[in-house]
Amino acid sequence: MNHQREIFSSSQPLILESGTALESFDLIYDTYGCLNEAQDNVILIFHAFSGSHHAAGKLESDQDRGWWDSFIGPNKVFDTNKNYIICINNIGSCFGSTGPSSLNELTNTPYGENFPEISVKDWNQAIFYLLCSLKINTISVAVGSSLGGMQVMDLISKKDVDVKKGIIIGATHKPRQLNILLNHVQRSILKLDDSSDALKVARMLSHVSYISNDFLQDRFQYNTQDLETKISDDIVYESENYLSYHGEKFVKRFNKDSFILMTKAMDSFYFDESKIDNISSKVLLISFDDDLLFPAKDMVEFHKLLKLKGVNSKHKNLKGTRGHDSFLYLTKEYKDELEKFINS
């Protein structure tokens, strides 16, 4: 499916919402498929909090297939036979774009906790620089889940990018107090201890909020963990082992400073309703009925705001399979809604 990985290096300063500037920055991104002659077959995919540019496929340097592999490829929902698909790692993350682990040219040391505060708008501004460098003026479909959905909300309300269709999945247009407090507790855990154990525990807490009780109950019942496969001696139940496994897996691919930086950006996102007048895109909103973090009622509210302003918006509340993480798992109903909208 013509899977490529590129790095865009910008020497143009990026002025952040905080007033600080990144004098230069890198964005790592993956592409799938081919750009047509008219340059109007672009699908822009935005990753979630802990996601990356590696949305599908597997290059030689990759250990696993991409996080949305079942969605992207020849004859899949996002069809690489017809479309040119771009997925970009946000600045501030830790997968190759400029972030806390990058070298600060002024001090010749990694930014670490001194990396400047960033926002959803900052992420999209950096991506706009990339799109300009590629001479891409039209986005056929912009799609994002969770944090990525916030980016789509912001993108479709901008006047400088022509987005034909926007798909927003499992996201919210305003801060939610439960999420702010969960993120606050996670950041507090990270400030207690610099060890990887703190990052593991913070991720375990966040992972609990990503999944549903029904999923846990159906999968684990009341089963105890085999002695031979216990991750630690204090584990009794399979569900505890599952959570500890995901915490340890996360530590191997993420870092503390990016965790703090990106959760703060999510907490601060508030969609400016006055910008709804700028939206000319056709919009699909998808929520899941078991999503604790971004419940369907938030999507219903955003849908009403869009409809009041005459935006061509549709909302579907789907049966979830994994709570908030349902956006990662393709069911028939989910697939049908996406394909119907993309092909409409």
Active site residues: 146, 291, 324
Letter string b/e over residues 224-246, b meaning 16 or more CB atoms within 10 A of that residue's CB: ebeeeeeeeeebeebbbbbbbeb
Q: Tell me the C-alpha to C-alpha distance, in Å, between residue 278 and each of 84, 124, 126.
A: 25, 16, 20
- How many whole angstroms separate alpha carbon 344 and alpha carbon 167? 13
- How many whole angstroms separate alpha carbon 176 and alpha carbon 87? 27
- How many whole angstroms separate alpha carbon 19 and alpha carbon 128? 18
